[in-house]
């Protein structure tokens, strides 16, 4: 009989084999540039367009169970279990987003707890007496992962204070040289950073250095009248970077505000089979429904070809490890194996930053957060559980669900998937999950545009945000600010900001009577 150690070794070998196969497939892909757009149209390999992980019997089951429902008289089977067997059934309190996948082993629970400790760890500047905890900055936005993802939840814009810890300004510009254009075309960079301030505005610094500057937000009231005469006031934000300490930004640098996304269910999103994401894409709107979702593309850090982007507001990262590694380097200034920049996001124009001591401990590795650290944080991030649904059989919730479907919201917010059988984590394999996202890029119109190109995502495109857990935002995070910059103060405002491909759905919501609008919001709050 195999031991737990034998099974662990087997799982690691299987995961490695799967990764090797995936890499081989990706390296053999063909990438074709369209004449109509700078965005590439992908000739995906057959293995990525078909659920090869499923036998025909399972394929039939999966197709049946993921088909959108037409019966709103009662809940669907397994609807309470948003994250499949990994769903947390703990009380929906302030810690609702901080629970581990319910189906991981006891040994994995210990790994999860170690990852949690590192996620919460407060980093300090170098040199320091706190061995292996120094390396902060020298310029940075936060001292820990938890500072942005408080209680593993959603960030927010600064309100009545200058605190912007869970929100920052992404800086980017277009290519100016042939080398820069080649880097973008070959997915070596999603865009070009500001030559002085890098890829994001760092509003904090270690002692002795000056922060880069500060984000300033102003709001303009924008009234909205429903067809029934009801009125609400939206707030339209404007952003600027002020008190710049290292000179002016480039004239073509764009500012894109980003709040921290909630951490729940990321491992399950990573486990969605590529074929299911690709199948929902319709870049040329061939079915004529006005929805033209596109697959986000990212450069896999260990591959020579672009892969499907799944994480970040513009689907710019392919894996949780890459997402976390970039956050370590960019947000905290901590180097790691995938992003080995000891000075974080500092540029050549910021000489004092580049010359500051780093926190590398030779006995631990050649970066400030070597593989053991990143392994643990990645495992933690992969296994933050989705809370169970609430009130799924409530008549108002069921009515709101019907309105959600009838308004066309499910065209982008795909209710459910069955994850791949072949994953690096058995807890995520072959699970019926309910993220309410197609994981695709969609044009959301000029109202939500940031004007910033990120990889293949244009200045008006955003990845469909998963909706699971959205109703617990206030409970966990203490606020109800939504969208990429937190401009929406509640879910209704978030809906009303939808434009572009979502215009028809927004208008359908607005056309509902107040009772049905309230029911739809009640449904969202049950997720």
* Per-residue pLDDT tens listing for the chain (527 residues): 443 334 433 343 343 333 333 333 333 333 333 323 455 567 788 888 999 999 999 999 999 999 999 999 999 999 999 999 999 999 999 999 999 999 999 999 999 999 999 999 999 999 887 777 899 999 999 999 999 999 999 999 988 755 667 999 999 999 999 999 999 888 888 999 999 999 999 999 999 999 999 999 999 999 999 999 999 999 999 999 999 999 999 999 999 999 999 999 999 999 999 999 999 999 999 999 999 999 999 876 555 667 899 999 999 999 999 999 999 999 999 999 999 999 999 999 999 999 999 999 888 899 999 999 999 999 999 999 999 999 999 999 999 999 999 999 999 999 999 999 999 899 999 999 999 999 999 999 999 999 999 999 999 999 999 999 999 999 999 999 999 999 999 999 999 999 999 999 999 999 999 999 999 999 999 99
Per-residue pLDDT at 86: 98
Per-residue pLDDT at 517: 98
Residue 110: strand, helix, or coil:
helix
Whether residue 204 is found in the same domain as residue 67: no
Whether residue 484 is found in the same domain as residue 369: no
Q: How far apart are CA 332 and CA 139, in angstroms?
A: 8
Whether residue 135 is found in the same domain as residue 87: no
| Residue appearing with tokens 């074709």 | 32
Per-residue pLDDT at 303: 58
Whether residue 378 is found in the same domain as residue 514: no
Whether residue 82 is found in the same domain as residue 13: yes
Q: β-strand 231-242 against 214-225: which pairing, if any?
A: antiparallel
Q: Which domain holds residue 235?
A: 109-261+299-382
Q: Which of 341, 360, 382 is the last residue of a domain?
A: 382
Over the stretch 28-43, which tens digit does the pLDDT of each residue have? 333 333 323 455 567 7
Q: Residue 260's closest CA among 97, 482, 459?
A: 482
Per-residue pLDDT at 49: 92
> Is 249 within 8 Å of 239 (Cβ atoms)?
no
Per-residue pLDDT at 43: 77
Predicted structure pTM score: 0.91
Q: Which of 354, 382, 410 is the last residue of a domain?
A: 382
Residue 282, Cβ neighbours under 10 Å: how many? 16
Mean pLDDT of the chain: 91
Q: How far is CA 226 from the centre of its chain?
A: 32
Whether residue 153 is found in the same domain as residue 228: yes
Number of domains in the chain: 2
Q: How far apart are CA 235 and CA 223, in angstroms?
A: 8
Whether residue 406 is found in the same domain as residue 478: yes
> Is 497 within 8 Å of 488 (Cβ atoms)?
yes
Whether residue 185 is found in the same domain as residue 225: yes
Residue 122, Cβ neighbours under 10 Å: how many? 13
Whether residue 362 is found in the same domain as residue 397: no
Q: Which of 364, 382, 400 is the last residue of a domain?
A: 382
> Is 401 within 8 Å of 72 (Cβ atoms)?
yes
Dihedral pair phi/psi, residue 464, rounded to 5°: -60, 120
DSSP state string for 367-409:
SSS-HHHHHHHHHHHHTBPPBPP--TT-HHHHHHHHHHHHTTG
Whether residue 220 is found in the same domain as residue 367: yes
Whether residue 513 is found in the same domain as residue 442: yes
Whether residue 88 is found in the same domain as residue 152: no
């Amino acid at each position: 009989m195999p031991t737990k150690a034998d099974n662990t070794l087997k799982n690691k070998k299987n995961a490695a084999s799967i990764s090797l196969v995936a890499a081989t497939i990706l390296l053999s892909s063909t990438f074709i540039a369209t004449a109509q757009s700078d965005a590439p149209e992908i000739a995906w390999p057959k293995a990525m367009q078909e659920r090869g992980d499923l036998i025909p019997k399972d394929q039939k089951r999966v197709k049946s169970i993921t088909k959108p429902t037409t019966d709103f008289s009662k809940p669907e089977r397994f609807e309470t279990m948003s994250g499949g067997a990994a769903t947390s059934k703990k009380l929906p309190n302030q810690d609702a987003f901080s629970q581990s996948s319910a189906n991981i082993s006891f040994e994995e629970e210990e790994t999860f707890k170690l990852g949690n400790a590192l996620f919460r760890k407060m980093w300090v500047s170098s040199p320091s007496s706190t061995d292996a905890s120094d390396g902060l900055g020298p310029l940075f936005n936060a001292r820990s992962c938890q500072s942005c993802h408080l209680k593993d939840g959603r960030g927010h814009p600064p309100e009545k204070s200058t605190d912007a810890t869970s929100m920052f300004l992404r800086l980017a510009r277009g290519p100016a040289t042939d080398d820069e254009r080649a880097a973008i075309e070959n997915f070596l960079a999603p865009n070009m950073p500001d030559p002085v301030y890098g890829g994001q505005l760092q509003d904090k610094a270690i002692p002795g250095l000056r922060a880069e500057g500060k984000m300033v937000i102003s709001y303009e009231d924008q009234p909205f009248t429903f067809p029934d005469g009801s009125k609400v006031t939206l707030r339209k934000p404007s952003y600027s970077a002020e008190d710049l300490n290292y000179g002016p930004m480039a004239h073509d640098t764009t500012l894109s505000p980003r709040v921290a996304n909630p951490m729940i269910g990321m491992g399950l999103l990573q486990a969605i089979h590529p074929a299911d994401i690709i199948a929902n894409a319709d870049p040329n709107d061939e079915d004529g429904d006005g929805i033209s979702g596109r697959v986000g593309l990212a450069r896999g850090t260990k591959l020579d070809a672009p892969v499907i982007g799944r994480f970040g507001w513009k689907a710019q990262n392919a894996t949780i490890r890459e997402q976390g590694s970039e956050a370590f380097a960019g947000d905290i200034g901590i180097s790691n194996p995938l992003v080995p920049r000891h000075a974080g996001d500092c540029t050549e124009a910021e000489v004092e930053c580049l010359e500051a001591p780093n926190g590398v401990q030779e006995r631990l590795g050649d970066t400030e957060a070597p593989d053991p650290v990143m392994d643990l944080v990645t495992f933690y991030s992969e296994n933050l559980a989705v809370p169970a649904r609430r009130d799924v059989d409530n008549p108002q919730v069921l009515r709101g669900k019907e309105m959600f479907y009838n308004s066309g919201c499910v065209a982008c917010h795909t209710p459910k998937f069955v994850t791949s059988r072949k994953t690096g984590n058995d807890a995520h394999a072959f699970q019926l999950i309910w993220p309410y996202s197609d994981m695709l890029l969609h044009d959301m119109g000029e109202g939500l545009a940031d004007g910033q190109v990120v990889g293949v995502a244009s200045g008006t495109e955003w990845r469909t945000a998963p909706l699971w857990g959205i109703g617990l935002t206030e409970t966990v995070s203490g606020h109800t600010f939504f969208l990429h910059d937190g401009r929406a103060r509640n879910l209704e405002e978030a809906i009303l900001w939808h434009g572009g491909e979502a215009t028809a759905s927004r208008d359908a919501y607005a056309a509902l009577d107040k009772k049905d609008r309230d029911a739809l919001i009640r449904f969202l709050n049950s997720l």
